[in-house]
Chains A and B, each alone.
Chain A
Amino acid sequence: MNFDDTEDEAKFRAEAVAFLEKNLEKKDAGAGRADRSRDDFLTRAKAWQKTKAAGGFAQITWPKAIGGRGGTPIQQVIWNQEESKFDAPTSPFAIGLGMCVPTVIAFGSDEHKQRFVPKALVGDEIWCQLFSEPAAGSDVAGLKTKAVKDGDDWVINGQKVWTTGAQFSDYGIVLTRTDPDVPKHKGLTMFIVNMKDPGVEVRPIHQASGGREFNEVYFTDVRIPDSDRLGDPGQGWKVALVTLMNERLAVGGSPGPDWKEIMGYARDAGTMSDGAFRAKLADWYVAAQGYKLTKFRSQTALSKGETPGPENSIGKVITANHLQDICNSAVEMQDHYGIISDRDKAPAEAIFQESLMWAPGLRIAGGTDEILKNIIAERVLGLPQDVRVDKDKAFSEM
């Protein structure tokens, strides 16, 4: 039992660190919060993606034939660990390279691969994923966006929602209903869509947190050639599962302030002696360690060339609630002052206030707490599936 790299891993890590040091600034320890609203963020992100690709670090596990490094999953984990220590603008590419492009690679034609993969890899083109709809979130197979065959084209009409990065994406993969007369999972089809098509309208969502990071996307008579279909008509659900399976191994740091930040704040504020706070602090440390160390167990499996076990699935259930609880305690610790969210006036530059408002979204995005618990119960623990009364009924009859 040890936390050391193998000889090969250490060699790769050294290579990665050398590359990062040459090309990026270390994260400012105090700042910790990248300002994604800055105008040059996207420009910087694209430049960094290009540099990464040139250095062979863009998609480490992809085969060399399609521009990857032909490396191992553990190398990708090591890269992510090291990259996260630097001020690296990576978020615009996470969904495209992590989920959409792998789907194109799995189901697209040779022309698709030649046309799309290299440009995505170097950051010239950004992709988004268009699955969720206003009436289809957790039960995404109940989506209504229609695709109707017309000659050699399909005509798309409908609305998607919560689309990350749609405002700056060039392409997307869109899941549509092509046959309403069969049960919901069987009437879906996946397409590649050009986000610059005049029939595609992107509107930012004004989130409860006040920000506008996500979007609604409206499709009005958008024509997609049949050649841009991914998988057979009616096989869209199968294709979507591949997209979701490709969701990359969660290796990011904590999504906001953690036990260390609140402990630091409590010391400054002189509230460390509060027994109830100390007990909670212990619980937060235990949960944060539990999450971090569980990732180490997954990493160990990867390092040995094994598939990580189900232990990976606990991540977001822990972190989202954990973040909300820590921020709530910090705000309450500040008493009346806790209501101030002005960065210049609030304690700790309002990090707790900002994450308090972000936390509800984190508990919903990428699988709600409830759906994740269903997944753990069904896929890890082997309990029966929920009742699905619509399973065998035609979608149009629901």
Chain B
Amino acid sequence: MDFDFSDDQKFLRDEARKFLEAQCTSAVVRNVLDNDDVSHAEDLWKQVKEMGWLGAAIPEEHGGLGLGMLEMCVIAEELGRVLAPIPFSSSAFYFAEAIKQFGTDAQKSAYLPKIASGEFVGCLATSEGPGDSDAAKLKTGFSSGKVSGTKLPVTDGDIATHALVLAKDGSGASMAIVALDADGVTRTPIQTLEPTRSHAEIVFDGAAAELLGNEVGNGMTQLDSILNRAAILVAFEQVGGASRCLEMAIEYANERQAFGRPIGGYQAIKHKLADMYVKNEVARSNAYYGAWALSTDAAELPEAAAAARVAASEAFWFASKENIQTHGGMGFTWEVDCHLYYRRAKLLSVQAGAPGVWKEKLVTALERKNAA
């Protein structure tokens, strides 16, 4: 039994934490939050690119570090802890993994080295309205190498250089790669609950596009797999954020005095924080199982991914809202960081599948497994 990260991976985590605590301070996050014209933390993004983290799970032959998915999980957790306001997940968790998994050799050679270096920034454009993506309801179309339609919201859509677009293709759906500087692409930043991660509406009007891989009509199957794999990495981001919320709540509860003693001495607060701890550990253990499934391409990946996502969304949401509650009135001010985590928790819980969607995926996977 070795259900833990290796010493090398823990070393990477320690180094990443040191770096991010110094370079991704609250001030850096708030600079993005408070300025409408700042879409992401440029200096931080530049340094992250230079460290090669974007290519941690990209093979060396395609310009990556050739480490692996476990290393990417470690990085994801650390980015989640500090609310890194950069388009890392869009590019590394969704776009790069999609190309790795489904791209042709030519696409791998064309995209992966530039994603690894940060020259290209990818994003995932699937959403067209409330609810989970549904091939039958898709309005965006893909034919004769052109995409037309509107995607909203697209995380990092205004920062990215390339988008993976889910589009109707004849009777089915396909995933298409679109260069966002092409003619026929209009991008408009939109206001969201989570301004430290940029979102856009993208209108495609006959924009040049290429099919992901070489099989037409396979888009929903591809998307399912892309989302499952990314779900595990996002779960680590969430676990990182939830852990930080618990630390903030403990620190404040030990410090803040009421009725003559620290509020952390009262059971109403102690039990709240104990509940937070239990949810966080459940989420962490489920995320680790996802990491194992991801790194070994296990048959259990669909249920592991869904469970990781369900547990992590619940943990981060609970920790972020009860962290505000623990901070009392202070927690409801703009100046205290609690609301940044509350915002990020909500973004990550609804991004690429809300908890209800993942619960349904989980039960479907369990049914399939138990029927076999």
Contacts and interface: CB of A to CB of B under 8 A. Distances in A.
Given A318-B282, A383-B273, A384-B254, A299 B359 contact: no
Contacts of A263: 366, 370
Given A4-B1, A384-B265, A370 B271 contact: yes
Given A1-B292, A2-B292, A376 B3 contact: no
B70 interface: yes
Interface in A278-303: 278-279, 281-283, 285-287, 289-291, 293-294, 296-297, 299-301, 303
Nearest to B278: A314
A293 B289 contact: yes
Interface residues of A, number: 50
Given A1-B4, A4-B2, A383-B254, A376 B264 contact: no
Contacts of A370: 267, 271
Contact of B265 (A3, A74, A383): A383
A238 interface: no
Contacts of B291: 1
A373 B275 contact: yes
A179 B154 CA distance: 72
Contacts of B267: 370, 373-374, 386
Interface in A24-69: none
Nearest to B364: A278
B104 interface: no
Nearest to B358: A282
B311 interface: yes
A311 B281 contact: yes
Contacts of B45: none
Interface string A122-133: 000000000000
A300 B250 contact: no
Contacts, number: 158
Interface string A372-391: 11101110111111110000
A5 interface: yes
B3 A381 contact: no
B286 A290 contact: yes
Contact of B274 (A278, A286, A373): A373
A314 B359 contact: no
A9 interface: yes
Interface string A292-327: 011011011101100000010010011000000000
Given A5-B1, A318-B282, A285 B274 contact: no
Contacts of B25: none
Interface of A: 1-5, 9, 74, 260, 263-264, 272, 278-279, 281-283, 285-287, 289-291, 293-294, 296-297, 299-301, 303-304, 311, 314, 317-318, 370, 372-374, 376-378, 380-387
10 contacts: A1-B4, A263-B366, A278-B360, A282-B310, A282-B358, A293-B3, A294-B285, A317-B278, A374-B267, A381-B246
Closest 4 CB pairs of A and B: A290-B282, A377-B270, A282-B359, A293-B285
